[in-house]
A = this chain, B = another copy of it.
Amino acid sequence: MRYSLLVGSKRVRPALCLAARELVGGNDSMAMPAACAVEKIHTMSLIHDDLPCMDNDNLRRGKPTNHIVFGEDVAVLAGDALLAFAFEHIAVSTLNVSPARIVQAVGELARAIGAEGLVAGKVVDIRSEGLSEVGLEKLEFIHVHKTAKLLEGAVVLGAILGGGTDKEVEKLRKYARDIGLLFQVVDDILDVTKSSQELGKTAGKDLVADNVTYPKLLGIKKSREFAEKLNKEAQGQLAGFDPEKAAPLIALANYIAYRQN
């Protein structure tokens, strides 16, 4: 659990969670356990994704994947324990938040993971591999669920636990949906334009596996235009907030849009 959690992630999800909390009010004690929890969920999903029966990947964040180091059995279990630990951490360590909001956060996070969340995206992804007729709609379903739902969860948890109003939570949810899709479009672009060394993970995987991607369906140029559009839409959701407090979320959207690995 420690190996994969501490192997050097970019911590995009925790940063989003804490920035959303900052935007609506309160202090870090309210959202820090949730920020750690979304990173645990993300790490769990990477460990299980990398398994031989899934994507069969040996390299992640520039290091050998969990099952290469600890064996497949322990990798499955490490993911399970991280999943449970995420909920434990929110339930036990969240401070200065009403229990009603903590319960709401638990429900949100759980939904982001399961059969309407990242597992849904992954299952459709697996079942679509090598199929030639995967269109833009299905690709978006996969990405919204595989990637965007957890980014949405991170932002919404920060907003709920920081004491945001329903209206604030919904605006931030829309922001998160846009950058969630943005994140994956950029990932697809990087996979075909960067080397393994630059990425810290195996490059060109999508091409080798004949996965459907945005560059494959739209070409690189139109994929980049779509990314630009999503970035603008996301930042548009932040228009009603105090610009100074919204700055970190704007910076994160730009970071996701313009990252090089």
Contact = CB atoms under 8 A, between A and B. Distances in A.
B83 A1 contact: no
A121 to B, nearest CB: 10
Contacts of A83: 80, 83-84, 113
A218 to B, nearest CB: 28
B91 A123 contact: no
Most buried by B among A74, A77, A109: A77
Interface string A179-204: 00000000000000000000000000
A86 to B, nearest CB: 8
Nearest to A123: B77
Nearest to A126: B73
Interface residues of A, number: 46
A95 interface: no
A107 interface: yes
Interface string A83-94: 111011011100
B84 A126 contact: no
Contact of A103 (B80, B103, B111, B113): B103
Contacts of A103: 91, 99, 102-103, 106
Contact of A84 (B51, B85, B88, B117): B117
Given A99-B98, A123-B77, A84 B114 contact: yes
B81 A113 contact: yes
A260 interface: no
